Chains A and B, each alone.
Chain A
Amino acid sequence: ETAVFQTPNYHVTQVGNEVSFNCKQTLGHDTMYWYKQDSKKLLKIMFSYNNKQLIVNETVPRRFSPQSSDKAHLNLRIKSVEPEDSAVYLCASRGLGGRDAETLYFGSGTRLTVL
């Protein structure tokens, strides 16, 4: 049962445009993540937020900026996209206690294609 929702599923845009991806989790978790998955399926963490506070910010270009309005939402904005930004962007959440403290629950991803 899906509990991490991402929109849109797909997005095609041109170099230089701005895009925004949305993520919402209904699990009541406090921590949310953005991962980037390249064409070879390699998953790389980009950002992590805990209760609206940024706690992990990997080395990503400045054109990427996460936005969190509350602990259930974590959006990703990309200013002026580049061809190398073409990838699947996966949102995930993690809880506080028990098994949820270590398990990541992923959405189905947003596939970005930059022409």
Chain B
Amino acid sequence: SQLAEENPWALSVHEGESVTVNCSYKTSITALQWYRQKSGEGPAQLILIRSNEREKRNGRLRATLDTSSQSSSLSITATRCEDTAVYFCAPSGGSNYKLTFGKGTLLTVTP
């Protein structure tokens, strides 16, 4: 079974709007990572938020983490067409370090 799951499965917004992707996970973590994968590329990390942090920002991106409910969110403000991608959350920690990903949220930003 999946250790992490993003929702919704897909989102569509217009440029300039804000959007939030949610993540629930089922394992103990040392950190929660968010990755973005654009078409034809591999995933690239956006934000890494540690288990003792509740919020982390990176430009237009803001991630939150609630370890008590095992959930996280990624918000993007002032979206741009180039934000169109699949967004993954990945809980990290544990032995052998196998980073597992959720199924992803497909975000489409239209002009």
Q: Which residues of A contact B (CB under 8 A)?
A: 4, 31, 40-43, 45, 48, 55-56, 58, 90, 92, 94, 99, 102-104, 106-109
Contact = CB atoms under 8 A, between A and B. Distances in A.
Contacts of B86: 41
Interface residues of B, number: 24
Contacts of B96: 48, 55-56
Nearest to A45: B98
B48 A106 contact: no
Contacts, number: 54
B32 to A, nearest CB: 10
Interface of B: 30-31, 33, 35, 37, 40-45, 48, 86, 88, 92, 96-101, 103-104, 106
B24 to A, nearest CB: 16
Of residues A58, A94, A104, which shows the largest number of chain B Cβ atoms within 10 Å of its Cβ?
Answer: A104
A92 B103 contact: no
B98 A4 contact: no
A58 B96 CA distance: 12
A102 B42 contact: no
A12 B104 CA distance: 26
Contacts of A4: 42
